[in-house]
Structure 1
């Protein structure tokens, strides 16, 4: 997922080091499958969770998961409510001005439009999750943007006729389109961002070093490819 922090929301970074604490708190949304979601056992699950758990094991960190609504996920990292964001977050220049990112653990993910009929996305009313790079992209196209707090609400707006189409990560939309004969993809995929990374406070340089080393080792020894094959079999692991 692809949160954009408005300039007015940029907060002062906390000076507390995550590694000075006994537990590194891993922040995620828990509402964006297959990246992250709450499973039937009421536990966080998904590709992000598998990545985060493997990083913690390799970096010898004691970690716990914390869920947070998407629209405040960066401000609450900065203010110290947790120490990382592992939530399908795309690396962008705007975000990088406020927080640091690890090396990517997922390639730049295609976004897609889905609707219940043929529409001209350049002039249509398009739903997107608030504060995402998808929402920003729609606004830049000249289409009418309607933002929703969650991606599920954006999809529901298409189904109930409130908007013409939804624009979101294709990996999120794919199973929804596959299961709903009334929904279909429109036009070409759109690639946004520079891949997905783990977000951290800029003051946590030591934590970033440990996380980068773990992710790099996971890519080199094939563990990242194994997790990609589990959750995203169509994704090329050699990104």
Structure 2
């Protein structure tokens, strides 16, 4: 799913947490159905429901923090929150800067959408959200990459002719192919990433293990697959 290229490994470090403190969960709040802000102004979606249940099972008091995607890893490292739960794929590059829990979804396939069939995906102009694994894939593919800060802006670029297609998580794109706007899936799905997990500071091994145990318990009793199916975010385990 998403890939952040960090140029400052120097950011790491001092922001530890105490288990007695409230655990702050950082999310983007702009990537339905994974995470979004509902009409009441609250974080909602698959990861809100999942995160609340994980905190309950781990006996942790948790609160939610909304953060833009392009600074979500640096702000974890600097201590603005204690864990990322934001549709973030586990990648080797990210793992050099932060730790990850066990994955709580299998890899979600990426897909292209455009305003019509026949788009040149290999050599055309393809939009992706900045700092995602899709942006990295396009940059290496030979196509021309145009990046935008939010996923909605990538779709706007296709609608107004700035880009030929968008590459993003298929689960995010499905509603836009069903809303009557003319956006359609094109080309083949692209398998990217190693599943989605929670990002944790490298110094917070105890917190990581608490969440690992909670994730495993949800896998074992089937409740994680039920949530995945409810929100239609990926295939089940």
TM-score range, shorter chain: over 0.9
Determine if the alignment matches structure 1 residue 61 to structure 2 residue 60. yes
- Paired with 1:11 and 1:226, the residues of 2 have a C-alpha distance of 40
Deviation for aligned residue 1:51: 1.2
Matches within 5 A, 1:44-193: 44-117=43-116, 118-193=118-193
1:34 paired with 2:33, answer yes
Distance 1:197 1:9 in 2: 22
Deviation, 1:22, is 1.5
Distance in structure 2 (CA, Å) of the matches to 1:75 and 1:102: 18
Instruction: Mark the runs of 5 or more structure 2 residues left unpaired by the alignment.
Output: none
- In structure 2, distance between residues paired with 1:116 and 1:166: 10
Distance in 1, matches of 2:219 and 2:19, equals 28
Aligned residue pairs: how many? 236
Equivalent in the alignment of 2:202: 202
* Counterpart contact for 1:5–1:74, Cα < 8 Å: no
User: 2:11–2:74: 8 Å Cα contact kept in structure 1?
Assistant: no
Identify the range of structure 1 (177-186 vs 197-206) with the bigger mean alpha-carbon deviation: 177-186
Q: State the shift of 1:213 in Å.
A: 0.3
TM-score (normalizing by structure 1): 0.95
- Mapped to 1, the partners of 2:235 and 2:135 lie a distance apart of 26
Q: Per-residue deviation at 1:3?
A: 2.9
SS in 1 for 2:230: helix
Q: Report the secondary structure of 2:166's partner residue.
A: strand
Per-residue CA deviations over 1:76-123 (Å, capped at 9, x if unaligned) read: 000000000000000000000000000000110100111112211000
1:11 aligns with: 10
Residue 170 of structure 1: how far off its partner (Å) = 0.6
Query: How many angstroms does 1:4 deviate by?
Result: 1.7
| SS state at 1:25 partner | strand
Does the 8 Å CA contact 2:3/2:91 hold for their aligned counterparts?
Answer: no
Task: Provide the TM-score with structure 2 as the length reference.
Answer: 0.96
In structure 1, stretches of 5+ residues that fail to align are none
Give the Cα–Cα distance (whole angstroms) in 1 for the partners of residues 169 and 90 of structure 2: 14
